[in-house]
Structure 1
Amino acid sequence: MPEKQLRFAALIRVSTDKKEKQGESLRTQEKQIAQAVESLGGVITKRYAGQEHATEGYEHKQLDMLLADAEKKRKQFDAVMVFDASRWSRDNEKSKAGLRILRENGIRFFTLTQEFNLTQPTSILFLGMSAEIGEFQARQQKQKSVLSCIERAKRLGAPTSGRRPFGRTWDKEAQKWGVDEKKKAMIEDVAKRYLAGESLTKLAKEYATNHSFLNKTLAESCGDSYTITWDIKDLRIHETVTIDIPPLLSAKTIKAIRKKAVANRTYQHGKPKYQYLLQGYVFCEACGYSLTGQTNHMKKLYYRHRTIARHCECKVRPRPFVRADQLEDAVISLLFDTFGNPKAVKRAIDEATPNLKKVQECRQKMQRINTDLSSVNRSRNSILTLIERESLTLEQAETKLAELQEREDLLTTELDRMAASIENVPTPKQIKTTAEEVVKQFTKLKVSARRRLKIKEANQFDQMTWEDKRGLIELVFDGTCSDGRPMGIYIDPIDGQENYRQKKWAFTIRGIAPVDRQQCVTQCVSRL
């Protein structure tokens, strides 16, 4: 009785996209496997071919498909053939599991014309050693590749990982960043029209681009820097490199776009039926939750703290519920009194600024930490050089790299903590400049209103239009405070009024020039 013809499954794998596109490695493997099958008198009934990562830890789709087919009752093949043992797997754990599936289902294993008996310990040992060596080589190559990319990004400012920032080009020969003028013109047009009030959804459709992508690009990818992050957990490598690139928009425009985006999500969302002068700038002092506008049956406007809100566990009872007209009149009046002259504004900012001596000490410590981080990076580069020269074993290198990574993590954590603590603290020069600019802008606003409405006294704010008042509010509350909270009006209950039907609420103005809370305690009254 003639022997049954052996049916083969050919596993043809390359480890990079480049090799797959070039096709040479795939063609070479397929040709050699076809010749080997023919010499054995068999036939290829199933092919599993394509690009996969040979690096340990990555998904192997073709191998998974092959093993799934090997477990079926009606099998399309009796044997598996690979070009060499390294093409089977470079993950020893995956290799053992796969060989066990083949053995249990009676599938034979070949590397070209050489068969490995999967029931023999020597065959299992050889294939296990091949997988272990392949895993070592892949891991070592991965480490070298990552460290080399980090070094090139730091040294040359080159885009060595991830997608390039929108609208920028990289000249490999000149090692220099450039700008795609067509894309820059598009972004400038979108930014101008978006700030003028046009819908970003409409603009995205006009330019045939994704709305979310356009929104993210405007807010995050139009500046003068580009950040690349490597987070390789199995190698304990976590590195962030910031590269200088040519901007598509000015810093002022980007800031305006981000502010516009926040406004669109909050107080400028939709077309409100009633006008709330302080909408988006009134907060609860206790929990920081934003108070929203509400109108009662008598058409009186209030700023109200929601009683049920996600991510809010405010302990103030009753929740703030403040008459809008009284709060708005009190705030506008105090802003006129505060912005009388640059010295008054500067004094208010100075009083609200943390101890400048401590801030200076903090900045000096941050400089020392940055110096230590630079030392860590130099040490890491030295280890890379020793590995390339084979003066350091992989085990020794991993130990030293782990120690450096641990030290870097500690330094980075401390640096981030200190940076956050002084992020919004102005320098003395900034305080002086801000004070002069605020008074200058405020004075222009008052003069404009006086000329237009022929106001005799500059502090007659009740004669200003709603738009002028709103412009004043946005000018004063543009930014965040030194503690990270947004600038605005913070409402606080007054002790001893818990059982009163008519309550008074204290409020603190925290803007470019903060106003003392005690000046405002009795000026805002609200009925529950």
Structure 2
Amino acid sequence: MHAIYARVSTDEQARTGYSLQDQVNQCRKKLLSLGLSNIKEYIDDGYSGEFLDRPALSRLRDDLRAGLIKTVMVYDPDRLSRNLTNQLIIADEIEKYGAKLEFITGSYDASPEGRLFFSIRGAIAEFEKEKIRERSLRGKRAKVLSGKPLFGRDPYGYICDRDTGQYVINEEEAKIVRLIFKLYTENRYSVAKLHAQLKAMGVVNRSGKPFSLSVLDHILANEMYAGTKWYFQKYQKTVGQKKRKVLKRNVNEWVSIDVPAIIDKETFQKAAEVRRQNKVTAKRNTKFEYLLSGIIKCPKCGYAMRGTRFPKRNNKDYAYYVCSAYVNAYECDNRRCVPSQELDEAVWQEIVNMFKKSGGIRRDRNKTSDAGKEKARAEARLKKLKARQAAILKWVTDGTIDLEVAEKELQKLNSDINAAQAILSAPEPAAKESDVSPTEVFEANTFEERRRIILRLGITVTAERSENGETLYKIRF
């Protein structure tokens, strides 16, 4: 029996129109011209050539092992694989089981010289593929560094104006974006509650359907709505057949451009803070209830203390806070467990008493003022950096500076711009006194209500167990 192997990936088929049928027809014609008529086809439609895990290829290899195949006809070596190592593995298997490998686009010689030529050809093809990918990425990066966006599908709330190369606000959709942020920040909703509220209000997306939870979460996390569009934050790595893993790039590789803002940065920062609190308080992230989780620290070493439970004794569950220094391979003298329920109640009662006495918590404003000064410095630095960036781009246009030199300078500038923008987009360090009212504190009866209030207050708690079994703690505001 004689085999035809044909393959095309979905992306490649859409891009180049590489036809499976043409491959099969050419291979069949070649086999028939050699007087070989008992033909079986092995076709992988929509599978990447980067990996050997392909259904038709696996069947072909099984039939080779069984000694059923005498000839394997393939249109081109890259149909077997785009990876040189994989090409050689398959070629070795074909020879090992006594079959002959043939290509339409060229001959294959099993001699040492022929195998060397085959290897060189495969290496060149692999090198060219990587160069094309690198040039494409470099071109995209250069375009963004010049302040021009990379257009794809219109982001919700915007229109891609391809004539001017800029984003334009879609006012009808922008109204909904503002409503989403308003409901989320003012009511401190979870995404699920926000979804339910929008559905009840009859708010729908472009398709006339309610927004999904994932889309709402993406909108709330997208800094583009506050005027900054980021590129090259993540990349996809193919880890298997039809399997991709999304990985984060180093922050120095991120590139940003300014776009028209639909909401102000303060609203976006509030949304970021609500998202952070929701993540901490989400029931799916905590098996048990620890009121001070994430804000309690060890007074001896400064490491966080974590909630833990010991096996039940006398049908009772025992919950404690313990120093997490050992997790970080650090020795700490604070080895006694602090009962969590007892400490949670004590801290909460002290907060209630403070609100009863003074109507709120008086905190040191130094942290907030320092953060404001840092943001002011970052804003001034960002203005200078962008002016420098604009000047370099003008020099490139005028031919005053070499393109390669300009690109290196722009990359360094972009790294500094990203660092300044990261400072500006950081959430405020602490909530204001007016953010939590006495009524909220006095009426907070559930764990979730108390947990949210404690997080909004921005407190830090240190605690330890004395030798006589007393729990000692301090609250810092």
TM-score range, shorter chain: 0.5 to 0.7
Q: State how far apart, in whole Å, the 1-side matches of 2:125 and 2:40 are.
A: 28
1:128 equivalent to 2:119? Answer yes
Q: State how far apart, in whole Å, the 1-side matches of 2:44 and 2:283 are.
A: 52
- Aligned counterpart for 2:98 among listed residues 106, 109, 126: 106
- Aligned counterpart for 2:3 among listed residues 2, 9, 15: 9
Distance 1:198 1:74, change over 3 A: same
Deviations 1:321-362 (A, max 9, x none): 4425651255336755875xxxxx7xx4238866999x6999
Q: Is the 8 A contact 1:305 1:319 kept in 2?
A: yes
Counterpart for residue 130 of structure 2 = 139
Q: Which amino acid aligns with 2:165?
A: Q
Counterpart for residue 230 of structure 2 = 227
1:498 equivalent to 2:469? Answer no
Distance 1:326 1:351, change over 3 A: same
Distance 1:185 1:13, change over 3 A: farther
1:83 equivalent to 2:75? Answer yes
Q: State how far apart, in whole Å, the 1-side matches of 2:435 and 2:194 are.
A: 34
Counterpart for residue 256 of structure 2 = 242
Query: Sequence identity, in percent?
Result: 15
**Correspondence 1:16-415 to 2 at 5 A:** 17-20=11-14, 23=17, 25-43=19-37, 44-51=39-46, 58-62=50-54, 64-65=57-58, 68-73=61-66, 75=68, 77-112=69-104, 116-118=108-110, 120-159=111-150, 165=155, 168-178=158-168, 195=187, 200=192, 203=195, 213-214=214-215, 216-221=217-222, 223-224=224-225, 225-229=228-232, 239-245=253-259, 251-264=265-278, 283-284=296-297, 286=299, 287-289=303-305, 306-307=321-322, 316=334, 317=336, 319=338, 321-322=342-343, 323-324=346-347, 326-332=349-355, 348-350=364-366
Q: Which amino acid aligns with 2:66?
A: K
User: What's the TM-score once normalised by structure 2's chain length?
Assistant: 0.61
Using the TM superposition, give the Cα deviation of residue 73 of structure 1 relative to its aligned residue in structure 2, in angstroms. 0.9
Q: Is the 8 A contact 2:27 2:75 kept in 1?
A: yes
Q: State how far apart, in whole Å, the 2-side matches of 1:147 and 1:10 are.
A: 38
Give the number of equivalent residue pairs. 410
Q: Is the 8 A contact 1:200 1:215 kept in 2?
A: no
Q: State how far apart, in whole Å, the 1-side matches of 2:337 and 2:322 are.
A: 9
Q: Which amino acid aligns with 2:120?
A: M
Q: Any unmatched runs of 5+ in structure 2?
A: 239-248, 285-289, 309-318, 397-402
Counterpart for residue 386 of structure 1 = none
Work out which of the two has the higher radius of gyration on C-alpha atoms and give 1 or 2: 1
Q: Is the 8 A contact 2:378 2:423 kept in 1?
A: no
Distance 1:260 1:330, change over 3 A: same
- Aligned counterpart for 2:474 among listed residues 469, 492, 507: 507
Using the TM superposition, give the Cα deviation of residue 100 of structure 1 relative to its aligned residue in structure 2, in angstroms. 0.8
Distance 1:40 1:478, change over 3 A: same
Using the TM superposition, give the Cα deviation of residue 291 of structure 1 relative to its aligned residue in structure 2, in angstroms. 8.3
User: What's the TM-score once normalised by structure 1's chain length?
Assistant: 0.56
SS of the residue corresponding to residue 116 of structure 1 reads coil
Aligned-residue RMSD, C-alpha: 5.9
Distance 1:39 1:362, change over 3 A: same
Using the TM superposition, give the Cα deviation of residue 102 of structure 1 relative to its aligned residue in structure 2, in angstroms. 0.7
Counterpart for residue 296 of structure 1 = none
Q: Is the 8 A contact 1:85 1:130 kept in 2?
A: no
Q: State how far apart, in whole Å, the 2-side matches of 1:501 and 1:268 are.
A: 32
Q: State how far apart, in whole Å, the 2-side matches of 1:367 and 1:188 are.
A: 27
Q: Which amino acid aligns with 1:241?
A: V
Q: Any unmatched runs of 5+ in structure 1?
A: 1-6, 271-275, 293-303, 340-344, 382-388, 390-396, 450-460, 480-486, 511-528
Deviations 1:479-528 (A, max 9, x none): 8xxxxxxx2142456xxx9345666x453432xxxxxxxxxxxxxxxxxx
SS of the residue corresponding to residue 97 of structure 1 reads helix
Q: State how far apart, in whole Å, the 2-side matches of 1:262 and 1:53 are.
A: 39
